[in-house]
Amino acid sequence: MSQIADEIKNQINKRRTFAIISHPDAGKTTLTEKFLLYGGAINLAGSVKGKATARHAVSDWMEIEKERGISVTSSVLQFNYGGYCINILDTPGHQDFSEDTYRTLMAADSAVMVIDASKGVEAQTRKLFKVCTMRHIPIFTFINKMDREAMDTFELLDDIENELGIATCPVNWPIGSGKEFKGVYDRNTRKVELFSDTHKGTTQGEVRKISIEDDEIGQWVTDAQLAQLREEIELQDGAGAKFDQALVSKGELSPVFFGSALTNFGVETFLKHFLSMTTSPLPRKSDKGAVDPMEEKDFSAFVFKIQANMNKAHRDRIAFMRICSGEFEAGMDVFHIQGGKKVRLSQPQQMMASERKMIDKAYGGDIIGVFDPGIFSIGDTLTTSPKRFTYEGIPTFAPEHFARVRQVDTMKRKQFIKGINQIAQEGAIQIFQEFNTGMEEIIVGVVGVLQFDVLKYRLENEYNVDIRLDNLPYEYIRWIENTDIDLDRLTGTSGMKKVKDLKGRPLLLFVNDWSIRMTVDRNKGLELSEFGRS
Ligand code: G4P
């Protein structure tokens, strides 16, 4: 019998922790706002963005994101709805997103993918999606902006299946789009949820549902639309994948919903279904096997994000961790596995709606930010368990932009090295050195080019070091999986460069896909990976 107190079990059981992903402008922020509206966490939709900007004002280097009006950092929002305690991990949606975006997905138990109905799957969704599939977490699709002209429904579903390689199962089906949008048909209840945008989403609005067999439906939906709906549903019933919770849970089948976040249509329907289909906190892999929050009574967590310099005067950092098991209490002492000693987790914070607040307690599934005096690294494990185990590390994601970096004033080498190493430790950038050339030059790799600006800004402001960045033509990085390859003899193309990371592990940079293929061809048995092990 488990020794976990019922109260803790109940708390963990009602947690739903998910990441929300989308291409910029698909409507992620709007949808999140509407979720919060249902949770009663905000009264008026529209406040997420405003408050987020105010919050960011505490941090200096985030001036960059204010100036550009984009969000570099990801935040976590918690609210209650329908007996669930929901943690939404928001991911920066701009093209210039960082590795943090990927890491955030490592802390989630499922993902909600928002797609613009007029655009289908876009580049960034594809990238983020790869990380979800790597983890086999459930993925739910919300096709947004049905109040605008949309792509054909079958085309949209095909797009998801082809681009992302996952089967889809529409839970509801749209009737028209744009000016002709009439609502969605629930394939299970056979009722039409009628579209209304009277409230423009500032209140919860009323929901009207009418059976497709009811004569009244004719008042709302034209005969032609009804005929088309019947035909489409018949086609879908015949050829489409059936709903299968087991496949959803394995991330092999994505339930699809249609709606319009802006007009608050289809949002609550989505939320309700999603909450019933998604999962409570999942077991996490560790070096002693999977740690199940329903079996492990002790507190355990791993760090997935470090945010620097919330307060420039103190150069402090906040380490964000995902609690995997047990109960957290403010000020508790826990064992930091990688540091090999006990630490007190002080000033624990959590986001409620968009405000940061101090918390007393948190449970498995929750995300908390704690004060970090500079001892934590991404992927570190903390636990009160006497058994001491380490959670599986967070992979290093492939940067796509590289630059050679030097300090302008050669006298400042020490500060430069210290600064760049600290920033790399936080995970904002990755640093590499040329392999076997004896050159002292540092190559920096980033996932989004904005990180170059962040690096420059932070080195100037926090470490008083001016740097020069010279862009390099490489776009791809691959980790070498083989341990028995003689790197000196490895031959590539002129578009390939050998480098090593901070731990001395060899990597290859490439200018293009062709160069990767040629290098693999020329070196028998060479195994390359897109993710680095931590
Ligand atoms: P993001 O976080 O994914 O980047 O998207 P965001 O919610 O900021 O939405 C991007 C734009 O799309 C916003 O308009 C938003 O109002 C609009 N939008 C979101 N959902 C819907 C929808 O269901 N239907 C329609 N028609 N539009 C939608 P904006 O003009 O760029 O910004 P704003 O000035 O309205 O904030």
> What 3-state DSSP class applies to 289?
strand
Cα of 145 to ligand 1 centre, how many Å? 8
Query: What is the predicted pLDDT for the residue at 439?
Result: 59
User: Residues of the chain with pLDDT > 90: what percent?
Assistant: 53
Range 107-115 average pLDDT? 95
113-117, 464-468, 529-533: lowest mean pLDDT where? 529-533
Task: Please work out, in degrees rounded to the nearest 5, the angle formed at the alpha carbon of residue 370 by the alpha carbons of 417 and 46.
Answer: 105
Task: Please work out, in degrees rounded to the nearest 5, the angle formed at the alpha carbon of residue 93 by the alpha carbons of 92 and 97.
Answer: 60
- 44: buried, middle or exposed (CB in 10 Å: 19+, 13-18, 0-12)? exposed
156-165, 242-251, 481-490, 492-501: lowest mean pLDDT where? 481-490
Is the pLDDT at 69 greater than 80? The verdict is no
Cα of 301 to ligand 1 centre, how many Å? 35
Q: What CA–CA distances, in Å, run from 321 to 89, 327, 533?
A: 12, 13, 19
Is the pLDDT at 277 greater than 90? The verdict is yes
Residue 144's nearest CA partner among 61, 226, 266 is: 266
pLDDT per residue as tens digits for the range 449-462 = 888 988 998 899 88
Cα of 29 to ligand 1 centre, how many Å? 8
Scored b (16 or more CB within 10 A) or e, 276-305 reads ebbbbbbebebeeeebebbebbbbbbbbbb
Choice from 29, 30, 264 to test ligand 1 binding pocket (greatest atom count within 8 A of CB): 30
**CA of 32, closest atom in ligand 1:** 7
Task: Determine the Cα–Cα distance for residues 54 and 69; give it in Å rounded to an integer.
Answer: 12
111-120, 179-188, 287-296, 501-510: lowest mean pLDDT where? 501-510
Q: How many CB atoms lie within 10 A of CB 419?
A: 21
For the chain, report the end-to-end CA distance as a whole number of angstroms: 35
pLDDT per residue as tens digits for the range 1-12 = 457 889 999 999
Report the nearest-CA residue for atom 26 of ligand 1. Answer: 145
pTM: predicted TM-score of the whole model, two decimal places = 0.84
Report the nearest-CA residue for atom 31 of ligand 1. Answer: 25
Residue 47's nearest CA partner among 200, 197, 202 is: 202
**CA of 93, closest atom in ligand 1:** 4
254-263, 272-281, 415-424: lowest mean pLDDT where? 415-424
Q: Which residue has the tokens 């420039």?
A: 312
43-47, 230-234, 279-283, 329-333: lowest mean pLDDT where? 43-47
Report the nearest-CA residue for atom 17 of ligand 1. Answer: 27
Q: Which residue has the tokens 């655009």?
A: 119
Query: What is the predicted pLDDT for the residue at 58?
Result: 32
pLDDT per residue as tens digits for the range 83-92 = 999 998 877 6
- The region, left, alpha or beta by phi > 0 then psi within -120 to 50, assigned to residue 182 is alpha
Residue 501's nearest CA partner among 477, 484, 522 is: 477
- Of residues 363 and 447, the one with the higher pLDDT is 363
Residue 296's nearest CA partner among 337, 255, 325 is: 325
Task: Determine the Cα–Cα distance for residues 170 and 153; give it in Å rounded to an integer.
Answer: 10
Cα of 526 to ligand 1 centre, how many Å? 46
Range 431-441 average pLDDT? 76
Cα of 23 to ligand 1 centre, how many Å? 12
Cα of 61 to ligand 1 centre, how many Å? 26
Query: What is the predicted pLDDT for the residue at 196?
Result: 81
Confidence category of residue 242, pLDDT binned at 50, 70, 90: very high
Report the nearest-CA residue for atom 9 of ligand 1. Answer: 27
Confidence category of residue 476, pLDDT binned at 50, 70, 90: very high
Cα of 144 to ligand 1 centre, how many Å? 10
Query: What is the predicted pLDDT for the residue at 101?
Result: 76
Report the nearest-CA residue for atom 16 of ligand 1. Answer: 262
Say if CB 255 and CB 160 are below 8 A apart.
no
Strands 110-116 and 139-144: parallel
Range 427-442 average pLDDT? 80
Choice from 22, 25, 184 to test ligand 1 binding pocket (greatest atom count within 8 A of CB): 25
Q: Which amino acid is at 130?
A: K
Task: Determine the Cα–Cα distance for residues 456 and 458; give it in Å rounded to an integer.
Answer: 6
Two tokens, residue 412: 């400042």
Task: Determine the Cα–Cα distance for residues 45 and 264; give it in Å rounded to an integer.
Answer: 10
Q: How many CB atoms lie within 10 A of CB 451?
A: 24
Mean pLDDT score of the chain: 85
Cα of 399 to ligand 1 centre, how many Å? 29
Report the nearest-CA residue for atom 14 of ligand 1. Answer: 25
Report the nearest-CA residue for atom 25 of ligand 1. Answer: 145
Cα of 132 to ligand 1 centre, how many Å? 24
**CA of 22, closest atom in ligand 1:** 3
Task: Determine the Cα–Cα distance for residues 122 and 127; give it in Å rounded to an integer.
Answer: 9
Task: Determine the Cα–Cα distance for residues 177 and 167; give it in Å rounded to an integer.
Answer: 23
Question: Where in 373-425 does DSSP place strands (E)?
Answer: 381-383, 396-397, 401-407
**CA of 24, closest atom in ligand 1:** 4
Task: Determine the Cα–Cα distance for residues 42 and 318; give it in Å rounded to an integer.
Answer: 25
Confidence category of residue 143, pLDDT binned at 50, 70, 90: very high
Report the nearest-CA residue for atom 15 of ligand 1. Answer: 27
Task: Determine the Cα–Cα distance for residues 276 and 3; give it in Å rounded to an integer.
Answer: 27
Choice from 51, 262, 267, 354 to test ligand 1 binding pocket (greatest atom count within 8 A of CB): 262
**CA of 94, closest atom in ligand 1:** 4
Cα of 365 to ligand 1 centre, how many Å? 29
Cα of 26 to ligand 1 centre, how many Å? 7
Confidence category of residue 437, pLDDT binned at 50, 70, 90: low
Confidence category of residue 68, pLDDT binned at 50, 70, 90: very low
Task: Determine the Cα–Cα distance for residues 16 and 293; give it in Å rounded to an integer.
Answer: 13
225-229, 303-307, 388-392: lowest mean pLDDT where? 303-307
DSSP state of 512: S
Cα of 262 to ligand 1 centre, how many Å? 7
Task: Determine the Cα–Cα distance for residues 341 and 319; give it in Å rounded to an integer.
Answer: 17
Q: Report residues whose beta carbon is within 6 angstroms of any ligand 1 atom.
A: 22, 24-30, 93, 144-145, 147-148, 260-262
